[in-house]
Structure 1
Amino acid sequence: MSRIVSIVTPVHEAAVGFLSAAFASLRAQELPDGWDWEWLVQVDGDDEVEVPANISADPHVKVSFGRRGGPGVARTLAWGRSQGELVKVLDADDVLPEGALYRDIAVLEEHASVGWTVCRVLDLMPDGSLQHYTLGEPEAGLLVRGELYEYWLSTHRPMVHPASLCIREGLLAEIGGWMALPASEDTALLMALDVIADGWFIEEPGLHYRKHPGQTTAHPDHRGGAEWGARMGAIRKRTDALALRLASA
């Protein structure tokens, strides 16, 4: 019986047109011996979104519709239906390059103490070109617990791209999935993971992050204003509480 990596993908109307490219990138993945993948596609509250028939018909794919709750709720609902021992994040408008899943699985098989992985990301521009995603990328290899949160506290930006996460399912269950935020729910998860378990940064690019006007990060409230402040506050409160609980255990 194969071991499973579960890919969770929230879908809303602005991104459904990119879903076929994400699917093609999944089908092209080669996994280590004994592994297979499942794709949990969660449509977020829009009954008019039509998932292409060739995707819905694939036995690896499980499509579901739910009440609108935002990306964090959609991701958590997708995870709730999963069967895998690893959970991989993939947004509907993004693409996995060759070898991405293989590298995630290989790291987590080789390093039992590592709870999650992230990787180098390339921005996929509207003209099809790839550009390097620049933040404060760390050295390849082990990410010691708390390292990324310390960086985030001073910048309110993640050092690595949270859209590239692959996580041990039991660790995700401990945290309780994604926060119910209108955005930054992936950063919130990354910060929580960072303070409770070591991670690993994979130097090879493992995600092509599509840039387009309909993405959540293009919203005017994403990087400022009252909503931004509340999101940052929620991330900080949960992460501080997790770090304190672990320190006092």
Structure 2
Amino acid sequence: MTRTLSVVTPVHKAAVDFLPAAYASLCAQEPPEGWAWEWLIQVDGGDEADVPASISADPRVKVGSGRHGGPGVARTLAWGRGQGELVKVLDADDVLPKGALARDIEVLEENPSVGWTVCRVLDLMPDGSLQHYTLGDPEPGLLVRGELYAYWSSTHRPMVHPASLCIRESLLAEIGGWMALPASEDTALLMALDVMADGWFIGEPGLHYRKHPGQTTAHPDHRGGAEWEARMGAIRKRTDALALRRSLAEQGTSLTER
């Protein structure tokens, strides 16, 4: 029986033109024997016909659409249509270098206690050049539960790039998918995963993160102001609640018994 990795991609009309490059990078992947990928594209506030026919005609591609709800809602709707036991994040404007999916699968196959992976990321600049993502990577290997959240709590920076996540579907279901935030929903998911299970950092580049003026992170509200404060507060509240729940479960205590 073939096992499936679901690749989840939200897209809005302004980013549709990037989809062919993402699709080409997926087609270049060579999953391990016995594995295949499906691509779950969710058009946020648009129509399924917005996706080029050359992409939607591929039986591995499953296109959906719905009311405008933002990237977190679109990701969750895409995941809801999936069949995979692993879920890989891929933004519409990013591309995967060769070997990215195989490395994610192999790490999670070889380390059953690890719930998720992230990897080294290279920024794809407008001129086509690649630059190393600048936050500073941890050493390749195990990311102990709570390590990234401790770093984020003092810096509001995620240490590793959340756009490179690959997750066990059962863990994603336990967390409840993505938060309905206008931005930072990928960071919110990373923090939730970090307090629920150990992760793994893959040292080889596994994502080319496209830099362009239209991306969400270029918005003036992304790194400051009232909206930013509310996003950070929501991320902290959910992550703290999940950390407490996991701690009590390990102690054999319920929330009502506290």
CA deviations 1:25-76 (Å, max 9, x no partner) are 0000001000000000000012397111110100000001100000000000
1:115 corresponds to: 115
The structural deviation recorded for 1:15 is: 1.2
Matched, 1:137 2:106: no
Task: For 1:231 and 1:114, locate their aligned partners in 2 and report how far apart those are by CA, in whole Å.
Answer: 27
Matched, 1:170 2:170: yes
Is 48-57 or 153-162 further displaced after alignment?
48-57
| Superposition pairs of residues 204-223 of structure 1, within 5 angstroms | 204-223=204-223
| Superposition pairs of residues 1-249 of structure 1, within 5 angstroms | 1-47=1-47, 50-249=50-249
The structural deviation recorded for 1:14 is: 2.1
Task: For 2:9 and 2:105, locate their aligned partners in 1 and report how far apart those are by CA, in whole Å.
Answer: 18
Task: For 1:139 and 1:59, locate their aligned partners in 2 and report how far apart those are by CA, in whole Å.
Answer: 38
Q: Percent identity?
A: 85
Check conservation: 2:48, 2:65, Cα contact below 8 A. Answer: no
RMSD (Å) for aligned C-alpha atoms: 0.9
Classify the secondary structure of the residue corresponding to 1:21. helix
CA deviations 1:114-138 (Å, max 9, x no partner) are 0000000000000000000011311
Check conservation: 1:12, 1:49, Cα contact below 8 A. Answer: no
Classify the secondary structure of the residue corresponding to 1:223. coil
Classify the secondary structure of the residue corresponding to 2:193. helix
TM-score, normalised by the number of residues in structure 1: 0.99
Task: For 2:40 and 2:33, locate their aligned partners in 1 and report how far apart those are by CA, in whole Å.
Answer: 22
CA deviations 1:188-213 (Å, max 9, x no partner) are 00000000100000000000000011
Between the two proteins, the alignment pairs up a number of residues equal to: 249
TM-score, normalised by the number of residues in structure 2: 0.95
Check conservation: 1:145, 1:196, Cα contact below 8 A. Answer: yes
> Unaligned regions of 5+ residues in structure 1, if any?
none
2:256 corresponds to: none
Task: For 1:209 and 1:121, locate their aligned partners in 2 and report how far apart those are by CA, in whole Å.
Answer: 7
> Unaligned regions of 5+ residues in structure 2, if any?
250-258
Runs of 4+ in 1 over 6 A off after TM superposition: none
